Chains A and B, each alone.
Chain A
Amino acid sequence: MGHDSTYTNQKFKVVGTRVNRPDGVDKVTGRAKYGADAYAPGQLVGLFLRSPHAHAKIKKIDVSKAEKLDGVKAIITSADLPDLTGDDRDLTDILENCMARGRALYDGHAVAAVAAIDMQTAKKALKLIKISYQKLPHVTDVDQAMEPGAPIIHDFVRDRKTGKPSNVCKISQFGHGDVEAGFAEADVIIEKTFKTEQTHQGYIEPHACLANISSDNTGELWVTTQGHFGFRSTCAELLGMDVAKLKVTSSEIGGGFGGKTHVWIEPIALALSRKANRPVKVVMSRDEVFRASGPTSATSIDVKIGAKKDGTITGATADLRYTNGAFPGFWAMLGSMISFACYDIKHVKSIGYDVIVNRPKVAAYRAPSAPMPAFAIESVMDLIAAELKMKPIELRIKNAAKEGTRASYGPTYGPIGIGPTLDAAKNHPHMRARLKKNQGRGVACGFWFNFGGQTCVDLNIGIDGSVNLIVGTVDVGGSRASLALIAAEELGIPYEQVRANVGDTASLGHNDMTDGSRGTFSSGMATIFAARNAITVLRERAAKTWDIPLESVIWKEGAARATGKGNSNRPPLSLKELAASAPNTGGPIAGHNEVVADNAGVSFASHICDVEVDPETGVTKVIRYTVIQDAGKAVHPDYVEGQLQGGAAQGIGWALNEEYVYGDDGCLQNPGFLDYRIPVCSDLPFIDTQILEIPNPDHPYGIRGVGETSIVPPLAAIGNAVSNAVGVRMNHTPMSPIRILKAIEDSKA
């Protein structure tokens, strides 16, 4: 049934309240079942053998000794994985990333996998596998990989102009106008280069799954994922199965942030299970998570911005170089789209270079590719403001995009939140708080597209009138609570009467991943429509009971009510009563909806940050942090605030201490939480939030995605704050004590 998704300015009863989440008690008491918490009779332990080299030819793999070890039930190498990917290059890359085919392309690349009766046996077996490698020249740095003479990683990647092998797999350009004309109009031009090091999403739960393929080539997969339907199709295609014959169940998820939108161990776990004819459980170690599951890109970015004396930006360009890891991606393309999205600029151009290097395949990380150009551009904005003796916030307000602005990446904006978040920042008490010695304040803006996509939802009314909502988007941040609120709102019943569950792939139609901040936006839309469908059924049942026409029955406050002549004294029929009489009125009552949720509604944020820097050691303490973001409609304000705080916390880690450190040998030196420093509680101040609600015109409740934008401004906000505190412009993240002290010393020299 067709439904109208237009925003209607509906008054809410339960949406917008701060109810308890359905998964809360289990999570705080330890009962929640995560990826590693599933068990099957006769299950084996699966372990991977990984390349110790950054780039090497695999001359020979000898598994004969390992195979003979008592308790080893299956060993898989690429020889056991026929390439069924046809001409789908992306899928071929996924296959090759899951298991090296002839060449190890990065330190940590899987080369073999074992399934054995226990951990000890599996470990022993790994040691018995003999691999002879021939080391090849490697490159891990993005700028070096683009230089002539750099080691070439894939022969099939060619330079667009010369046709010669190259590590640049994609060049993308966005913008409009004539940037040279723009710069000619400028009174001041600032040009600067920035670098950001590679970071990992740092989810606490490592990748884990339990794979179980039966001898009739049907199977089950229990897995921690942001999208079990996507995992199902990828695994099924790689293994030559029908999607309907592989049931994938998503576990509770201990953080994903994009990293769990890609398969890493799952196809191999299934292949091991198929070969061993037993269930196989694989749990990655932290070392493996860092070395072999997707980090974000390292980048090198040139930004040039020109402005008139009054602050009007006349022209802007960005050249963005992104590492993609060992396989082609589109991360610089995203970066080049996002670059100038916050501003209304007449002449603007950004060019993205996607570059292949000997590092793990890059995966999405919360607003993927956006924090890095924000760091570069928002830093240059501050430099322009300083040059023009303008307040940084005023420069941003002057140039903020608004409804009707043509975005640098193409579309024309509808109602958007950049101006309002900047105004709110300007008026926030934080902006007026006094700073002490060695302290600095920074402001920065951020943007994310948001995404809608394919969604379907089932809403089943139980025999007692309680409501079971089944959604197909994995709950990564409290969406079950939000979606249950939406169902309760539509049905006019208390929140407690609704239970939301995430269904497995056998119980619902296809759902896209929980990515692009789409969970509450898209499943919320489908839930509204499913509830409205259920209400139609409920009205029909009431009409039948009363023997009056459907048109004479309305649904209000959780009950069917008869209207019109002669009907007004009929007592209403509650959801509970209609559920109880369902066996006699037509059977079970349900509402379903399948939708492609379009027009997710772009998202903007402005952040304010104060830091204190120890000038003798370079140690930075974040002393105050404020996030202001447009949520469209905050269905559950707690979980919206949680997203704003979580993104800021991750951004602060990225800005100050998180980085992949590679040795000259191309191997990762810090694959663990000791030397890969995500912030601990005591590193962070309370992160204050302010939610603005500028309704998305294309969602019935005005919802926009809120999950990602919050990670975009922190690098720049901290960069500006630190630069103001120490009086030296920082242009390289992470701004570790070592880099800050060096910058201070260099500036004195």
Chain B
Amino acid sequence: MRYEAPGTTKEAAALLEKEKGSVHVLAGGTDLIVRMRLGLVEPDLIVDIKHIPTMQAITASASGTRIGAAVCNARLGENKALKKAWPGVVEAANLIGSDQVQSRSTIAGNLCNASPAADSVPALIAAGAKAIVVSKNKRRTVAVEKIVSGPGQTSLARGEVVEAITLPKRPARSGDAYLRLTPRTEMDIAVVGAGVSLTLERGVVKTARVALGAVAPTAILVPAAARAIIGTKLDDAALDKLAAACSAKCDPITDKRGTIEYRTKVAGVLGKRAAKIAFQRAGGVL
């Protein structure tokens, strides 16, 4: 096994392109190294992206915030501006594991690991986040919900690496939130996750995005749930419609972590609760 720690995205892409055997990008390693220790992957080459300065930066611009792919989740929590703009995304990233895990792990890694239960992904989808994907000869911007194609599978081509995740500029009177259901309070994996981002106009929901995790092969955007609350003040009827839309979109499995029935019901419950928090963060009054 070879280990490389390139200093630029270009070098990283070149290394990924050249390797003929099994190659893996290493960000925080909190998924990859666990899988290696379990013997599930045996890389020929590991490309560590943590030494690439552009991947270690959080930069704000007129169009929004760019989070480098190697920025650890703890740093998201320490970034006051980001926390103020996208509290739902930051709270999702700061649910991952423990302080120790957050001081290594990244949202890009959380995304590319492609677990249906990844915590930051529904929050990112709700926020309308995009991934900047780079290969030797190409750079493309992809909506986050297009990256994961199935459990453990992404749409990234061989040789591609995510350089950064971008969040749009926070519109006025908007808010987002993420909630997850875990049997334990910490160090656990979501049985259901729900992210909601919305914008208000005169106290009424104008735009909304609702995303769910752990209830389908990938995290999913639920447009019907958004429609259920758009144009409302989040009254009980709207919330019930949102919950029903969330439950209807669920396509979960029964496994050691939860049953189909449980996930389907609780997806609605969490969708409702996350919407209420987002609404209040946007300045709405319930």
Contacts and interface: CB of A to CB of B under 8 A. Distances in A.
Contact of A674 (B181, B185, B188, B270): B188
A617 interface: yes
A656 B185 contact: no
Nearest to B255: A669
A199 to B, nearest CB: 14
A214 interface: no
Interface string B181-205: 1011111110100000000000000
Contacts of B256: 661, 669-670, 675
A637 interface: no
Interface in A679-698: 679-680, 682-683
A616 B269 contact: yes
B181 A737 contact: yes
A60 interface: no
B259 interface: yes
Contact of B187 (A617, A670, A680, A742): A680
Given A661-B256, A669-B256, A656 B183 contact: yes
A738 B266 CA distance: 10
A657 interface: yes
B257 A617 contact: no
Interface in A642-687: 656-657, 661, 669-670, 673-675, 677, 679-680, 682-683
Interface in B36-57: 38-39
A686 to B, nearest CB: 15
Contacts of B269: 616-617
A682 B188 CA distance: 12
Given A617-B269, A661-B256, A670-B256, A683 B262 contact: no
Contacts of A742: 259, 261-262
Contacts of A737: 181, 183, 191, 262
Contacts of B270: 617
B186 A680 contact: yes
A379 to B, nearest CB: 21
A675 B262 contact: no
Give the interface centre of A123, A287, A679, A683 by most chain B CB atoms within 10 Å: A683
B283 interface: no
B184 A617 contact: no
A683 B257 contact: no
A619 B189 contact: no
Contacts of A680: 184-187
Interface in A120-141: 123
B136 interface: no
B104 interface: no
Interface residues of A, number: 25
Interface string B257-279: 11101100110011000000000
A677 B181 CA distance: 14
A173 interface: no
A617 B243 CA distance: 13
A211 B38 CA distance: 26
A683 B185 contact: yes
Contacts of A682: 185-186
A741 interface: yes
A39 to B, nearest CB: 22
A668 to B, nearest CB: 10
A736 interface: yes
A557 to B, nearest CB: 51
A738 B259 contact: yes
Given A616-B269, A617-B266, A617-B269, A738 B185 contact: no
Nearest to B266: A617
Contacts of A657: 183-184
Contacts of B255: 669
Interface string A320-354: 00000000000000000000000000000000000
A742 B261 CA distance: 9
Nearest to B38: A287
B244 to A, nearest CB: 14
A123 B256 CA distance: 29
A674 B189 contact: yes
A143 B258 CA distance: 23
Nearest to B269: A616
Interface in A601-621: 616-619
Contacts of A736: 183
Interface string B40-84: 000000000000000000000000000000000000000000000
A287 B34 CA distance: 13
Contacts of B39: 123
Contact of B188 (A287, A617, A669, A677): A677
B67 to A, nearest CB: 26
Contacts of A673: 187
A190 B128 CA distance: 57
B186 A619 contact: no
Contacts of B181: 617, 619, 737
B262 A738 contact: yes
Contacts of B186: 680, 682-683
Interface string A733-749: 00011100110010000
Contacts of B191: 737-738
A683 B184 contact: yes
Contacts of B262: 618, 737-738, 741-742
B243 to A, nearest CB: 10
B182 to A, nearest CB: 9
A657 B189 CA distance: 13
Contacts of A661: 256
Interface in B229-286: 255-259, 261-262, 265-266, 269-270
Interface of A: 123, 287, 616-619, 656-657, 661, 669-670, 673-675, 677, 679-680, 682-683, 736-738, 741-742, 745
Interface of B: 38-39, 181, 183-189, 191, 255-259, 261-262, 265-266, 269-270
Given A617-B181, A683-B186, A737-B183, 16 more contacts: A287-B38, A618-B262, A619-B181, A656-B183, A657-B184, A674-B189, A675-B256, A677-B183, A677-B188, A680-B185, A682-B185, A682-B186, A683-B185, A737-B262, A738-B258, A741-B266
27 contacts: A123-B39, A287-B38, A616-B266, A617-B181, A617-B269, A617-B270, A618-B262, A619-B181, A619-B183, A656-B183, A669-B255, A669-B256, A674-B187, A675-B189, A675-B257, A677-B184, A679-B184, A680-B187, A682-B185, A683-B184, A737-B181, A738-B191, A738-B258, A738-B262, A741-B262, A742-B259, A742-B261
What are the 5 closest A-B residue pairs judged by CB atoms, nearest first?
A: A682-B185, A661-B256, A616-B269, A669-B256, A738-B262
